Amino acid sequence: MTTVATEPARSVTRPYRPKRRRLGVAAAVLLGAMGFLIYKGVTSAVVYFKTAQQAVEARAALGNSTFQIEGTVVPGSKRAGTGSGNFSFEISSGPVKVEVHNTGVPPQLFGPGVPVVLVGHFVGMTDTFASDQILVKHSNSYIAAHPNRVRGPNGSMH
């Protein structure tokens, strides 16, 4: 009988590649998540609106999605609605007028001839806009022209 000598088994130490690979994957995931959050923050911070004329022209594409529409309140168009706080009025932009049904309380500066931005959507396939929020759009020239409508930070009239 012949005996074959065998060498003792050597312990093989692995390089740190699996740990490095996991660290790289984790870093890539974190960077991707941070990039996504930054992208969402920047794009959601940019809020824009369509004028009444643009909205009517894009009516088919807008469907029933929520968006912001801008126009000037048509004098004499405000009418009481069916429920408490509900009312209707028209806004205009260029030659286009849009009927608006609003739910809720209008802001203090709301009135005829005032530029507004409305949050809501078109109703069904009509050009009627259902709004649940009215934002008055004004500037320093508006304040100068209507000093009795605007209150300062301390509650006094301008």
Closest CA to 67 of 77, 80, 56: 56
When divided into structural domains, the chain yields a total of 1
Which residues neighbour 104 within 8 Å (Cβ) at sequence distance 6 or greater?
A: 85, 132, 133, 134
- Domain range for 103 is 72-158
Domain assignment present for 119: yes
Domain assignment present for 25: no
Burial of 42 (0-12, 13-18, 19+ CB in 10 A): exposed
Domain assignment present for 26: no
Q: Residue for token digits 């809501």?
A: 120
Q: How many CB atoms lie within 10 A of CB 70?
A: 20
* Contact assessment for residue 68 and residue 54, using Cβ atoms and an 8 Å cutoff: no
12-69 pLDDT per residue, tens: 665 556 778 888 888 999 999 888 888 777 655 555 789 999 999 998 888 888 899 9
Domain assignment present for 157: yes
> pTM of the prediction?
0.59
Give the domain CATH number at 138: 2.40.50.140
125-141 pLDDT per residue, tens: 888 999 989 988 765 55
